[in-house]
Structure 1
Amino acid sequence: MNMENPKPDWAMNKREKARAEMIARGEEPKKRRKWPWFVLFMAVLVAGGGYYYTEVYQPSQMAAAPAPVVEAPRESIVQLAPYEVETIAPMLLEDTLRMTGSLTPARQVHLSAEVSARLLEVSVREGDSVNEGDVLARFDIDNLENQLAQAMSNAQATRVQVQQAQSDFTRTETLVDRELAAPTALENARTGLQQLQAQLAAQETAVENAQAALDKASVSAPFDGVISERQADAGEFVATGSPLFTIVDLSAFEVEATAPVSKSPMIQTGQRVELTVEGFGDRAFAGMVERINPVAIAGSRALPVYIALENSDGLLRGGMFASGFIKLDEKEGALSVPVEAVREDAEGNYVLKIDGETLVRQSVETTRDWENGARVEVATGLSEGDTIVAAALPELRAGQKIALIGE
């Protein structure tokens, strides 16, 4: 028992004993916190009040209040952009085939030496423009002139011998007729004359060849064009057949393209081809199918097709890459839809047609594809002025409400 706690030790609980020991040591005991019990009391009080409100007061109040109005869920509306729909109208349908290839001059020639001689002069270089008849190179003609003179001399000498042999033959023939000479003499005279005549013919041919070689001592342009290759220089000795120049005519080009063999029945000479050439952007060049190879390329099912292309303004160059389309077939005033617009179910092909603000299923009968498979011709089911869903929107269904954006 102590002064701070009048209770005897045997009557104190653990908390009181601990407090008495703290006082005995001179420590100030902690005051007991009473607010948690107050908080617990208030929570019980509030819970009881809520129970009373819920069970007693509120039902009476709700019975007097009117019932709330429940709204029905609103129907969803699908918005479609202008590019996702299309209004049916007659149009020109075309079936085309893509063609690609490199430009090649329609006319080019490789000039070679026709004589064996030394080149004295070469007057053109690569890229030079030439006109028909322009002299491109000259050969040394001294040796050629000597060869011509020798051939002419030999022929003249043989010609004199032929004249003498002809006189001898005529005289022998007269003697044989008068029986003053043996017939064998006439045969010998005839044989000698024929041999000399043959020799003269060969020598006259040699003269012609020598003259031709002399005439070919200069090389001229066979047509208007441009020098694309020069393979000899002045001072060189070249043999007959040696390459000298390559001349190309840039006024017209040819594009060697290929087409599937299956499309060959639809390709005809004279068909027009619209081409674009690298370096000229979207500028279109008009071409025409000029020739069709009758045999496909070995190891493939591709048929060479040759397209003529005019170059009157001289802008095109050999080796440029060209691409374009050849028109295989066309149909005017046909009804068609994008291929993405055609759907299929158990009942067949159909499209989603816009009827007011609702999508409806419209059965269609299609015939063939056009525009390289981008559009399909419709035979029945649609009329001019109908509006359909043109885009591939698989989530759309018949019966849905739609709204067109921008209207």
Structure 2
Amino acid sequence: MTNPFPPLVSPAPSRSRIGWRKPLVLLLVIALAGGGWLTLRTKNSNAKQAGSDQPKSHAFELAASDVALIDARELRITLPLSGSLMPLVQATIKSKVAAEVRETLVREGMQVKRGQVIAQLDTADLQARYATQQATLDEAKAKLALANKNHDINQMLLKQKYISQNAFDTAHNSVEVAEATVKSASSQVEIAQRAMNDATIRAPIDGIVSKREVQQGDKVSLDSPLFSIMDLSLMTLEAQVPASEIPRVKLGQDVTFSVDGFQDRRFTGKVTRINPATETGSRAIKVYIAVSNSDGALKGGMYAKGAITLEKSAVGPLLPLTALRRENGIDVVYTVENNLVVAQPVKLGLRNDDENLAEVTSGLAPGAHVIVVKLDGVKPGSAVKMVEIVSAKRAS
């Protein structure tokens, strides 16, 4: 009897159909896997290429010694010098008479005023000499009076013709001789009076006693030195300059110098005189510098070292010469602006190779940052970083 319902399970496929489906599925899987790998590789390759096309962002870091901050001041060309300081005004007081020193009233280091009595000599002998000269004068005056009286009498006798003209002339000559004798005696009295006045020793200038040569009781002769006085308000620095440098030295040039013991203080002066002859042996020429010393800090004989300012610029930007570059025949410097290197043309004026500085007449302003060293890879347009300490570095 035939089954009216069909079987629920499909009959097994035949071996021939199963055999060609399996290779087909395997090929499809392999194809899909290969396509995905190619797609991923292409994306990675494009990403790498895109990354390589973008510019790399790298900034050079500048050290404090690589950059200088430009400031404004004078630039000076100087000539070194050294020499001794001496007071412009000083005096050595000598005795004008021979006498014994009765007393001295001042010592070294004491301040004196002009006209002040500083010593007294004994006047006993001088007074005796004065008295003698005064007596001589009185005698001469008496003889003159007698001669005048005889002259008047002889004149009357001559008119009455009691005497001759020769006798009258002799009497007249006696008057002239007596008058001359009076004048001579008067001058001797004045000399004796002056000698008595000279026994009182007075300071000829305002200043400080630098040396006392005598003591009380000493006997001094004519022209014996008694005291030395210095006026320290104005000093003179005497310095020797090589003859080859003299053409550069001019009257009125500024001088700055220092003195041992005043390390933190700088003194100033001006060239006021130039000796017209060279010194024997050294062949150098002396230059004299006037120095104001109102506070009396400088003393006579101090040794000073300094320099004459031969030339100076106006106050303006000063550039370290190490920052200067020559490009296409033009002087340029590399400045840092907004963290980028900029080539800035400049014009220079006065140069000082000793200080390694130059005056900038145009192209650079105070406050600019300039690169003072040659750095590989740093060129206009390069990005740079500056450490904060650079801002405190100044051109010097």
**TM-score for the superposition, normalised by structure 2:** 0.69
What's the C-alpha RMSD, in Å, of the aligned pairs? 3.9
5+ residue gaps, structure 2: 1-40, 42-47, 389-396
Distance of 2:70 and 2:220 partners within structure 1: 73
Residue identity matched to 2:168: L
Alignment of 1:306 with 2:289, yes or no, is yes
Q: 1:59 — aligned with what?
A: none
Q: 1:261 — aligned with what?
A: 246
Identical counterparts, % of pairs: 25
Alignment of 1:295 with 2:295, yes or no, is no
Q: 2:104 — aligned with what?
A: 122
SS of 2:276's partner is coil
Distance of 1:79 and 1:175 partners within structure 2: 128
Distance of 1:362 and 1:214 partners within structure 2: 83
How far is 1:246 from its partner? 0.8
Determine if contact 1:115/1:240 at 8 Å carries over to the other structure.
yes
Distance of 1:337 and 1:370 partners within structure 2: 10
Determine if contact 1:105/1:253 at 8 Å carries over to the other structure.
yes
Note closer, same or farther for the CA distance 1:204–1:309 as it changes in structure 2 (3 Å cut): same
- 1:18-37 alignment to 2 at 5 Å? none
Note closer, same or farther for the CA distance 1:398–1:290 as it changes in structure 2 (3 Å cut): closer
Q: 1:196 — aligned with what?
A: 178
Count matched residues.
333
**TM-score for the superposition, normalised by structure 1:** 0.68
Note closer, same or farther for the CA distance 1:177–1:369 as it changes in structure 2 (3 Å cut): farther
How far is 1:119 from its partner? 2.1
How far is 1:95 from its partner? 2.6
Alignment of 1:111 with 2:93, yes or no, is yes
Distance of 1:118 and 1:190 partners within structure 2: 47
Post-superposition CA distance 1:152-200 (Å, at most 9, x none)? 1111111111111122223223333333322212222222222222222
Determine if contact 1:276/1:283 at 8 Å carries over to the other structure.
yes
Note closer, same or farther for the CA distance 1:343–1:187 as it changes in structure 2 (3 Å cut): farther
1:92 pairs with 62, 73, 89, which one?
73
Distance of 1:205 and 1:394 partners within structure 2: 93
Note closer, same or farther for the CA distance 1:303–1:137 as it changes in structure 2 (3 Å cut): closer
Alignment of 1:282 with 2:267, yes or no, is no
Residue identity matched to 1:261: I
- 1:103-252 alignment to 2 at 5 Å? 103-252=85-234
Distance of 1:132 and 1:387 partners within structure 2: 60
Post-superposition CA distance 1:108-160 (Å, at most 9, x none)? 21111110122232343333343444433222221111111111111111111
Note closer, same or farther for the CA distance 1:392–1:292 as it changes in structure 2 (3 Å cut): farther
How far is 1:261 from its partner? 2.2
Choose 76-85 or 239-248, whichever is displaced more. 76-85
Determine if contact 1:110/1:243 at 8 Å carries over to the other structure.
yes
How far is 1:366 from its partner? 2.3
Distance of 1:283 and 1:398 partners within structure 2: 44
Q: 1:38 — aligned with what?
A: none
Determine if contact 1:96/1:371 at 8 Å carries over to the other structure.
no
Post-superposition CA distance 1:352-379 (Å, at most 9, x none)? 3446666565544323226975422234
Residue identity matched to 2:225: P
Alignment of 1:377 with 2:362, yes or no, is no
Determine if contact 1:96/1:325 at 8 Å carries over to the other structure.
no
5+ residue gaps, structure 1: 1-65
Residue identity matched to 2:73: L
Choose 370-379 or 111-120, whichever is displaced more. 370-379
Determine if contact 1:229/1:247 at 8 Å carries over to the other structure.
yes
Choose 155-164 or 251-260, whichever is displaced more. 251-260
How far is 1:76 from its partner? 9.2
Note closer, same or farther for the CA distance 1:368–1:394 as it changes in structure 2 (3 Å cut): farther
Determine if contact 2:206/2:231 at 8 Å carries over to the other structure.
yes
